[in-house]
Amino acid sequence: MTEALPAPIVAQFEALGHALAAVTTAHREGTKAALEAATLTAVRAAMPGLLGAVLCERTSSLRPGDAGRTKACPSCGARCRVAGLRERTVTTVCGTVTVERPW
């Protein structure tokens, strides 16, 4: 892979790494079941942030800096200026994800 890793995705994985490091500290000499449960909890907690970062990276209208551009009106197709960004919260299999979208 020659493409640089996107910073928002790397940040989410770094946060997950810190959460997993905390698991190892909190469960020293813990049972396999306790470590497994704590690891699964940490990964599940990270999933919405990871999905949000991937969505923003691969959906051009969700990328920062999109405000001010023109978009086609969903009703008439005419080009209109983006007035700003609004939050949109959706429930996914990864959890609740909030992204900013053009408005």
User: Does residue 16 belong to any structural domain of this protein?
Assistant: yes
Containing structural domain, residue 18: 7-102
Domain count, the chain: 1
Q: Is residue 35 part of a domain?
A: yes
Q: What is the pLDDT of residues 5-32, one digit of tens each?
A: 999 999 999 999 999 999 999 999 989 9
103 within 8 A of 80, measured Cβ to Cβ? no
Q: What is the pLDDT of residues 60-91, one digit of tens each?
A: 777 666 555 677 777 888 888 777 788 999 99
Single-letter code of the amino acid located at 88 = R
Does residue 12 belong to any structural domain of this protein? Answer: yes
Residue 62, in any domain of the structure: yes
Is residue 85, in this structure, part of any structural domain at all? yes
Classify residue 20: in a domain, yes or no.
yes
In a domain? residue 1: no
